[in-house]
Amino acid sequence: MEQPALRHGDGTAVPQARPSFARRWLRRLLWLGVLLAVLPVLQVLALRFIDPPFSSFMAIRQAEAWIGGERDFDLYYQWRDLDQIASSLPVSVIAAEDQNFAKHRGFDLDAIEQARAHNASGGRMRGASTISQQAAKNLFLWGGRSWVRKGLEAYYTLLMETLWPKTRILEVYVNVAEFGDGVYGAQAAAKRHFGKDAGQLNAGESARLAAVLPSPQRYSASQPGPYVQRRAQWIQRNARQIGGESYLETLK
């Protein structure tokens, strides 16, 4: 019900005070904050059921190619459901990147502490990002080490761990991870590097693909140098130690 206008004793209307400039902008900022908080929830909830047609990293790489005049650059990306990908690949990725994937809720605190202690000792910089964090970054964000990006990564990671089952996080990650310059996801990687479908990969090929993930534009799975060969062997040993393909049965 509309409130009656206030009036002076002589019957004239009392002028209504307008919100101050500062208050109007504060209100707008509050609405912007609500929007920025809700939008990621809608994105993550939608992509639990909809397979992403592309990722943020793909869009950024394509834009870089256009700006840089790389006229012959093409992105390679084909979605495959997890049950269409050889089990050895997601197991290899877990063995290489995040052996506590089934246990943590997005952040591996033990790995973070180990990385902090290692980096403080002056050794080669080591990260502690989980598969969930990497999936969030690749799908929604951009590279770099800014606090803004890390904060958004943490928020998206929490949302994904809350709204998605572990199998969906793993499925999305192996489909959007970069396995070579412009080569994204298991199917494109299997085709580009080994000339076969992702469902036909063997354990050795899967380990080599997982081995290049730290620097997919620097290393090659199809023409592995000494580093990739050593890392692939290490990944295969770790994959056996965590239970091999039966590890996937522990995911929910």
Tell me the sheet residues that pair with 7. 13
- H/E stretch holding 92 reads helix 88-97
In the prediction, which pLDDT does 144 show? 85
The full set of domains in the chain, from first to last, is: 78-250 (1.10.3810.10)
* pLDDT at res. 157: 97
Whether residue 213 contacts residue 232, with contact meaning beta carbons closer than 8 Å, is answered with: no
Q: What is the pLDDT of residue 26?
A: 75
Contact of 43 with 172, CB cutoff 8 Å? no
Amino acid at 47: L
Q: List the strands of the sheet with 183-184, edge to edge.
A: 76-77, 183-184, 178-180
pTM of the model: 0.85
* 104: nearest Cα among 177, 152, 169, 55: 169
Q: DSSP letter at 183?
A: E
pLDDT at 2: 52
pLDDT for residue 114? 73
* Cα 146 from Cα 99, distance rounded (Å): 26
* CA-based nearest residue to 58, from 185, 155, 174, 192: 185
- Predicted pLDDT of residue 17: 58
End-to-end CA distance of the chain: 51
Which residue positions in the chain have pLDDT lower than 50? none
Query: Could you give the CA distance from residue 152 to residue 154 in angstroms, rounded to a whole number?
Result: 5
Q: Specify the pLDDT at position 124.
A: 58
pLDDT at 115: 64
SS3 of residue 184 by DSSP:
strand
